[in-house]
Amino acid sequence: MSVMGLTPLETIAIWAVFGVALLGLAYAVFLRSQILREDKGTPQMQEVWNAIKDGADAYLKKQFRSILPLIAILTIALFFSVYIVPPSPEALERFEGVAPATVRLWIGIARALAFVMGALFSLTVGQLGMRMAVEANVRVASASKRSFGDALRIAYRAGTITGMLTDGLGLLGGTIIFIILGIAAPDALLGFGFGGTLLALFMRVGGGIFTKAADVGADLVGKVEAGIPEDDPRNPAVIADLVGDNVGDCAGMAADIFESYEVTIVSGLILGLALWHITGRLEWIIFPLIVRGIGVVSSIIGTYFVKAGKTGTSADAMSAIFSGFLTSAVISAALFFIAGFLYLNTPAMNAWGGWWRLPTAVGVGVLLAILIDRLTEYFTGTHAAPVNDIKKSADTGPATLILNGVAVGFESSVWSVLVIALTIVASIFIFGTIPGVEGADNATFILYGVAMTGIGMLTLTGNNVAMDSFGPIADNANGIGEMAWHGQTDKATKDAQQIMADLDAVGNTTKAITKGVAIGSAVIAAVALFGSFLVDVSRAQEGLGIPLTEQIKSIGIRVDSPQVFVGMLIGGALPWLFSSFAIQAVSRAASLIVLEVRRQFKLGVLEGTVKPDYRQAVSISTAAAQKELVSLALLGIVTPIVVGLLLGVEALGGFLAGIIVSGQLLAVFMNNSGGAWDNAKKLIEDEPRDPANNLGKGSERHKAGVVGDTVGDPFKDTAGPALNPMIKVVNLVSVIIAPIVVQNSGATGAALFGVWAVALVLLGVLTWAVVRSKAPAPSMTDL
C-alpha cells in the first residue's frame, strides 16, 4: 500500500476496518451457535417447519440454476471488457514497472473476480440469512411457550445474524479490493457492485413474484372465497405462502440491502478517488471506510441490548428494538465526529473547508434515514390520518378504498422526493461552499457529499436488517403455531399464540420502516452513481485525448439537447415497463395458484376428507418466478447499452436521470400505497367481529379491505422493492460501459457498422425479453 502514500496511521486504520469486518462476521457465527442451541419444539411443529424449509431450499436451488448461465456470460464479458478499453492510468501507476499487457490481464481478472465476489456475497447474505430465518422460526414458536423475552430475543438475534453478514461481507469486499488494488480499485469496485446488485435484483424479482403469487392466490381462494382464516392448514397454498415470506422478505430484502450497502461505498470510493485527483488527499477515501467500521461496531453493541422480560406486549418489543437502534445511532454519531476531529482536523484537510464537513454529511444521512422512517410511518402506519382515511373509505366499497390508497401513495412519493431533494440541497450547502472550489470540481464535491450521506443512511444496516428479518421470522413462527397447534385451546397455547401475534404485528412495522430506508438509500446511491458516471466518462474522454472543455464534466448532461431528452424519456419509461411486467407476472402466477387451490378444495380438502398437497403450490410459484427472472434482469442490463450505443454517452446520462426520477416516484408510490392498504385491512380486522353491522372480519368493509391488500401485495412486495436493485443495475451497467460508449462515439466505417450490429443484436435481446415477459405463465403441465 506504499504506492498510495498512506501514513502509518492510515495503514493501521485500513487494517482496523478490515478487522472490524471480520469481527462482524465472527459475531454472526457466535449468534448462530446461540440460536441453534435453542429447542425446536414438538414433532408436529417440525413437520410444518420441514415443509417450509424444503420449499425454500428447493426454490433457492432452482433460482441459482436459472441465473447461473447469465452470471457466467457476464463474468466473461467483464473480463474481456478490458480488451476494449485500456486500463486506466491509475492501474498502470499502481502496478508500476509491470508490462501494460500484463496489467490489462490482471485488471481483467480482478474485474471478473470482483464481479463473482459481489454476486457470491449477495447470494450468501440472502441464502444464509434466509436459512437462519427458517432455523429461527420454529425455535421462536417453541420459545413462545416459555417466555415472551425468549421469543423476542431469538427472533431478533437471528435477524441480527443476517445484519452482521451484510455488514461484514460488504465491508470485507470493499476493503480487500482497496487493499489489493489501491488507486486502481474503481475498475474492480464496479464489478463488485454490479455482481451484488444483479444478484439482489434476481432475489428481489424472483422472491417477490414467488411470495406474492402464493400470498395473493392463498388469500383469494382461502380468505375471500372459502372464508377460512389466514394460515389455515387446509389451504393448500399456505406452505407456499410461508415459504414466500422467507424467499421474498428475507432472502430478497437481505440481498437488496446488502447491495445498497455495497454500492454506496463503491460510489463513495470512486468519487473519493476523484477528489484525490483534485486535492491530492487520501482522507476522502479512508474516512468512508472508517465510517463503515464505526457503524458495524455500533450495530453490534446496539443489537445486543434488545431484550425483554418473561411477559410483554408488542409495545414492549417495539420499544426494545427501537432503543437498540437509538443506542447504535447515538454511539455512531458521536464516533463520527470524534473520528472526524482526530483524523481530519489537519491543516492539509482544513485547507479544503474544514474537518466538520465530512462527519456532518454522514450525520445528515443518519437524519435522512430517520426522516424517511417517519414519513413511511405517517403514510402507512395505523395511527396517522392516511390509513384511517383509507379504512373509512371502505364504507363505500373496494373502489373508493383503492382510489384513496392510490392518492395516498401518490402523495407520499412526492414528500419522499422532496426529502431526497433536501438531502441534495444539504450537500450543496455542505460541500458546495468550500472556498476556492468552483465549476466541475464543485459538482464533484457535492456528489461526493451525496455519497457520504448515503453511507450515513446505511450506517445502521446491522440494526435495519435485523429489524427487517425479524418480520418474516415472527410471521412464520406465527404460521407454524397456527398450523401445528390447530384446534388446541389450552391457556398455554393461547398465550403462546398471543405472543407470536404481537411479535408478528411488530414485524410488519419494522418491515415497512426498512423498506422506506431501502428505497431512500437506493435513490441516494443512484444519484452518487450518477456522479461516478460523470467521473468515469470524463476520465475515459481524457484518456482519448479529448480536451477538458469538451469532456462531459465541462459540458454536462444537457437535457435541452434532443438526443439527451429522448434518453431521458426512455429512462423514465423503463421502471414503468419493469413494474408492469412484474405485476403481470404475479397476477398470472396467482391465477394458477387460485385454480390449483380450487381444484384441491373440490377434491374435499376443505372438508378434511383429503390431505392438502402443499408441494404443488410451491412448485407453481417457483416455476412462475423462474420464468421472469432472466428477462426482467435483461431489461435492466441491455437497455442502457442500447441507449448508449445508439444515442451516445450524453443521452445515456439523460437516461440515468430519467430512471432515477421516475423510478423513485413509482417505487415509493407502490411501497406506500401497498403498506397503507395492508394496515387499513388490519385496522378493520381489529374491530370486534360483527358482520351484520359491517364491522370486523367477514364484513363487507373487510372484503373491501382484503381487495385493497391484495392489490397492494405485488405493489409493495414485488414491483416496488425490485425497483431498488433495478435502478442500480442500470446505473452500474452505464458506468461500466461508459468508456466503451465514449470510445465508439466518433466511430466510422467498419467500427460504426460494428456498433450498429451490436446495438441491433441487443435490441433483439430486448425484444425477446419483452415478448417473454408478456408470455403466459407456465401451466402445471409444463412443470
Q: Footprint of a copy of itself on residues 591-610 (CB under 8 A)?
A: 591, 594
Q: Which of 13, 125, 366, 527 binds a copy of itself (CB under 8 A)?
A: 527
We find the least distance from the C-beta atom of residue 631 to a copy of itself, in angstroms, to be: 14
Q: Which of residues 216-255 bind a copy of itself (CB under 8 A)?
A: 216, 220, 224
Q: Kindly state whether residue 566 participates in binding a copy of itself, applying the rule CB under 8 A.
A: yes
Q: Which of 459, 551, 662, 699 binds a copy of itself (CB under 8 A)?
A: 662
Q: Which of 388, 561, 694, 745 binds a copy of itself (CB under 8 A)?
A: 561
The DSSP code for 229 is: P
Backbone angles phi, psi at 695, to 5 degrees: -125, 145
C-alpha distances out from residue 499 to 310, 320, 470, 492, 685, Å: 11, 15, 14, 11, 18
**In this chain, which stretch among 258-266, 309-317, 441-449, 456-464 interacts with a copy of itself, using CB under 8 A?**
441-449
Name the nearest CA neighbour of 510 among 544, 547, 466.
466
CA dihedral for 262, 263, 264, 266, sign (positive or negative): positive
Q: Which is nearer to a copy of itself, 334 or 414 (CB)?
A: 414
**In this chain, which stretch among 44-52, 249-257, 513-521, 528-536 interacts with a copy of itself, using CB under 8 A?**
528-536
Query: Three-state DSSP class for 236?
Result: coil
We find the least distance from the C-beta atom of residue 639 to a copy of itself, in angstroms, to be: 11
Q: Which of 315, 414, 492, 548 binds a copy of itself (CB under 8 A)?
A: 414
Q: Which is nearer to a copy of itself, 121 or 655 (CB)?
A: 655
**In this chain, which stretch among 200-208, 249-257, 318-326, 442-450 interacts with a copy of itself, using CB under 8 A?**
442-450
Q: Kindly state whether residue 34 participates in binding a copy of itself, applying the rule CB under 8 A.
A: no
CA gap 168, 722 in Å, rounded: 24
**In this chain, which stretch among 200-208, 470-478, 655-663, 738-746 interacts with a copy of itself, using CB under 8 A?**
655-663
CA gap 662, 569 in Å, rounded: 10
Q: Which of residues 667-726 bind a copy of itself (CB under 8 A)?
A: 669, 706-707, 710-711, 714
C-alpha distances out from residue 193 to 196, 381, 565, 725, Å: 5, 33, 28, 11
∠ Cα 127 165 299 (to 5°): 140
Per-residue contact string for residues 615-654; x = within reach of a copy of itself by CB under 8 A: --------------------------------------xx
Q: Kindly state whether residue 332 participates in binding a copy of itself, applying the rule CB under 8 A.
A: no
CA dihedral 443→449→450→452, nearest 10 degrees, is 150
Name the nearest CA neighbour of 111 among 17, 184, 18, 203.
184
Q: Which of residues 112-151 bind a copy of itself (CB under 8 A)?
A: none
**In this chain, which stretch among 147-155, 275-283, 445-453, 756-764 interacts with a copy of itself, using CB under 8 A?**
445-453
DSSP secondary structure string, 643-701? HHHHH-HHHHHHHHHHHHHHHHHHHHHHHHHHHHHHHHHHHHHHSPPBGGGTBSTTSHH
Q: Kindly state whether residue 438 participates in binding a copy of itself, applying the rule CB under 8 A.
A: no
We find the least distance from the C-beta atom of residue 399 to a copy of itself, in angstroms, to be: 4
How many chain residues touch a copy of itself (CB under 8 A)? 81
- The grid coordinates of residue 620 equal 407453481
Q: Which of 408, 524, 625, 726 binds a copy of itself (CB under 8 A)?
A: 408
Q: Kindly state whether residue 428 participates in binding a copy of itself, applying the rule CB under 8 A.
A: yes
- The grid coordinates of residue 303 equal 443489537
Q: Which is nearer to a copy of itself, 723 or 740 (CB)?
A: 723
Query: Three-state DSSP class for 311?
Result: coil
We find the least distance from the C-beta atom of residue 221 to a copy of itself, in angstroms, to be: 8
Other beta carbons less than 10 A from residue 685's beta carbon: 17
Q: Kindly state whether residue 425 participates in binding a copy of itself, applying the rule CB under 8 A.
A: yes
Q: Which is nearer to a copy of itself, 272 or 714 (CB)?
A: 714
60, 247 in Cβ contact below 8 A? yes
We find the least distance from the C-beta atom of residue 206 to a copy of itself, in angstroms, to be: 18
Q: Kindly state whether residue 657 participates in binding a copy of itself, applying the rule CB under 8 A.
A: yes
Task: List, in order, residues 6 or more apart from 21 with CB less than 8 Å away.
Answer: 167, 168, 169, 171, 172, 175, 293, 296
Which residues pair with residue 695 across a beta bridge?
A: 690
Q: Which of residues 254-313 bind a copy of itself (CB under 8 A)?
A: none
Q: Which is nearer to a copy of itself, 335 or 594 (CB)?
A: 594
Q: Kindly state whether residue 590 participates in binding a copy of itself, applying the rule CB under 8 A.
A: yes
Q: Which of 3, 58, 278, 577 binds a copy of itself (CB under 8 A)?
A: 577
Q: Which is nearer to a copy of itself, 335 or 420 (CB)?
A: 420
CA dihedral for 258, 260, 263, 268, sign (positive or negative): negative
CA gap 627, 776 in Å, rounded: 10
Cell 448462530, located at residue: 32
We find the least distance from the C-beta atom of residue 573 to a copy of itself, in angstroms, to be: 4
Name the amino acid, one letter, at 84. Answer: I
Cell 415472551, located at residue: 148
We find the least distance from the C-beta atom of residue 508 to a copy of itself, in angstroms, to be: 19
First to last CA, the chain: 54
704, 401 in Cβ contact below 8 A? yes
Q: Which of 34, 400, 493, 745 binds a copy of itself (CB under 8 A)?
A: 400
We find the least distance from the C-beta atom of residue 586 to a copy of itself, in angstroms, to be: 7
- The grid coordinates of residue 770 equal 419483452
Per-residue contact string for residues 359-398; x = within reach of a copy of itself by CB under 8 A: ----------------------------------x-xxxx
Name the amino acid, one letter, at 503. Answer: L
Q: Which of 4, 534, 730, 735 binds a copy of itself (CB under 8 A)?
A: 534
CA gap 228, 231 in Å, rounded: 9
Tell me how far apart the 2 most distant CA atoms of the chain are, in Å: 85
Q: Kindly state whether residue 780 participates in binding a copy of itself, applying the rule CB under 8 A.
A: no
